[in-house]
Amino acid sequence: MNASIHHIPVCPFCQRLEILLSLKGLRDQITFNVVDITKPRDPRLLELSKGTTALPLMEIPGRTALKESRVLLDYVEELYPDPPVARPDPYEHALESLLVEREGGFGAAGYSFVMNQDPAKRERFSERMLAEYRAINDILVNYAPGKTFFFDRFGWAETVFTPFFMRFWFLDYYEGFELPEGAQYDRVRLWREACLAEPCAQQVQFDQIVKLYYDYAKGAGNGALVEGRRVSSFVFEPDWPGRPMPPADKYSVSASDAELGLV
Ligand SMILES: N[C@@H](CCC(=O)N[C@@H](CS)C(=O)NCC(=O)O)C(=O)O
């Protein structure tokens, strides 16, 4: 593929693209340029993106660069229809879209929950997250032809949602959040487990997410600095495997750069 992708390896929107390319056997044919968002952005990238900073960004020689993960997914799917990841049948793809429509609200519920700093609002955020899971459960029960995946295999909706399921490990760790037992959650639980186990979606790991997203849990997103700290938990050096697990109690403990293994 004559294109390169500027990305953040731990970003869920970027991971969508990696999953799609892996499912198509194309992951190794594309150059991925890693962007460190804790550093000032390269002006050349800002020029390519027309001034916005969010990644992924696809650079295509001789053409205007493309951005927005779902736009990039559509582009790759149309450019390389074989093997199809989205359902080629328009009606079946419309069913997938019913689920994909919910990704914005689902993502926002999880990120606002992890970034919340007020323990009194914890229940409200937890309920909002559960409502999103129930809505997905309902769509799967009412529309999914498949028994585990939406259809018979890991496909389009799974590619869109799996990176969020992985990021939301930060809710397990920092919020003690888990799906309750019961029919309102059983179908989505089954789906989520199958998504997490997909071999083409193993680009990130639990400890990596928990360590890198510590600052999100302290209310500072996108490489921003937590007050009193000098190094973002989002840095690549020192790399996450050598760092200790952060304290899980985000509401009353504030770990220092040294305690997080960042200096
Ligand atoms: N709607 C965008 C969202 C992308 C996004 O928010 N990316 C974040 C990382 S998870 C980012 O690049 N943040 C750095 C920044 O905005 O400077 C998409 O789907 O591509």
CATH number for the domain spanning 225: value is: 3.40.30.10
Q: How far away, in angstroms, is 63 Cα from ligand 1 center? A: 22
Of 204, 105, 157, nearest in space to 212 by CA:
204
| 8 A C-beta contact, residue 238 and residue 261 | yes
Cα dihedral value 186, 197, 16, 179, nearest 10: 30
What pLDDT is stored for residue 221 in this prediction?
94
C-beta separation of 88 from 81 below 8 A: yes
CA of 251 to the centre of ligand 1 (A): 26
Angle among Cα 253, 129, 92 to the nearest 5 degrees reads 140
Mean pLDDT on 134-154: 98
Does residue 74 sit in the same domain as residue 137?
no
Residue with tokens 């490990």: 169
Whether residue 103 sits in one domain with residue 183: yes
User: Residue range 49-63: average pLDDT?
Assistant: 96
Quick one: pLDDT at residue 5? 97
Residue 1: pLDDT over 80: no
Does 73 reside within a domain? yes
Q: Is residue 84 part of a domain?
A: no
What is the average pLDDT across 156-170?
98
In a domain, 74, yes or no: yes
Is the pLDDT at 49 greater than 80? The verdict is yes
Q: Do 194 and 211 belong together in one domain?
A: no
Residues 194 and 142 in one domain: yes
Residue 36, Cβ density class (10 Å: 0-12 exposed, 13-18 middle, ≥19 buried)? middle
Residue type at 165 in one-letter notation: F
Q: For a ligand 1 pocket test, name from 8, 33, 55, 204 the mutation site with the most ligand atoms within 8 angstroms of its C-beta.
A: 55
Ligand 1 pocket: which residues have CB below 6 Å? 8, 11-13, 37, 53-56, 68-70, 222
**Whether residue 68 sits in one domain with residue 104:** no
Question: Mean pLDDT throughout 125-132?
Answer: 98
Ligand 1, atom 15, lies closest to the CA of 54
Distance from residue 68's CA to the centre of ligand 1 (Å): 8
Domain boundary among 79, 104, 130: 79
Cα 257–chain centre separation: 25
Same domain, 193 and 241: no
Atom number of ligand 1 nearest to Cα 72: 20
Q: Are 131 and 73 within one domain?
A: no
pLDDT of residue 135: 98
The CATH number linked to 187 is: 1.20.1050.10
Out of 8, 13, 17, give the residue to mutate to test ligand 1, the one with the largest number of ligand atoms within 8 Å of its CB: 13
In the chain, how many domains are there? Answer: 3
**Residues of the domain holding 229:** 205-263
Residue 53 has pLDDT above 90, yes or no: yes
pLDDT, residue 260, reads 98
- Read off the pLDDT of each residue in 223-232 and give the average, rounded to a whole number: 95
Q: What is the number of other CB atoms lying within 10 angstroms of the CB of residue 77?
A: 19
Assess whether 193 and 105 both reside in one domain. Answer: yes
User: Cα of 13 to ligand 1 centre, how many Å?
Assistant: 7
Q: What is the pLDDT of residue 16?
A: 98
The pLDDT of 223-238, averaged and rounded, is 94
Q: Backbone dihedral region of 80: left (phi > 0), alpha (psi from -120 to 50 degrees) or beta? A: beta
Mean pLDDT of 78-102: 98
In terms of domains, do 115 and 189 share one? Answer: yes
**Claim to verify: residue 115 and residue 190 sit in the same structural domain:** yes
Q: How far apart are CA 51 and CA 49, in angstroms?
A: 5
Tell me the pLDDT band of 173, cut-offs 50, 70 and 90.
very high
Would you place residue 261 in the very low, low, confident or very high pLDDT band (cuts 50, 70, 90)? very high
Binning pLDDT at 50, 70 and 90, where does residue 2 land?
A: confident
Measured in Å, residue 147 CA sits from the centre of ligand 1 at: 32
Q: Per-residue pLDDT for 216 more than 80? A: yes
* Residue 66 Cα to ligand 1 middle (Å): 13
85 within domain boundaries: no
Distance 89 CA to ligand 1 centre (A): 30
- Give the residue from 21, 50, 79 where a domain finishes: 79
Q: Is residue 178 part of a domain?
A: yes
Looking at the CA of residue 68, tell me the nearest atom of ligand 1: 20
Q: Whose CA is nearest to atom 1 of ligand 1?
A: 68
SS3 letters for the chain? Answer: CCCEEEECCCCHHHHHHHHHHHHCCCHHHCEEEECCCCCCCCHHHHHHCCCCCCCCEEECCCCCCEECHHHHHHHHHHHCCCCCCCCCCHHHHHHHHHHHCCHHHHHHHHHHHHHCCCHHHHHHHHHHHHHHHHHHHHHHHHHCCCCCCCCCCCCHHHHHHHHHHHHCHHHHHHHCCCCCCCHHHHHHHHHHHHHHCCHHHCCCCHHHHHHHCHHHHCCCCCCCCCCCCCCCCCCCCCCHHHCCCCCCCCCCCCCCCCCCCCC
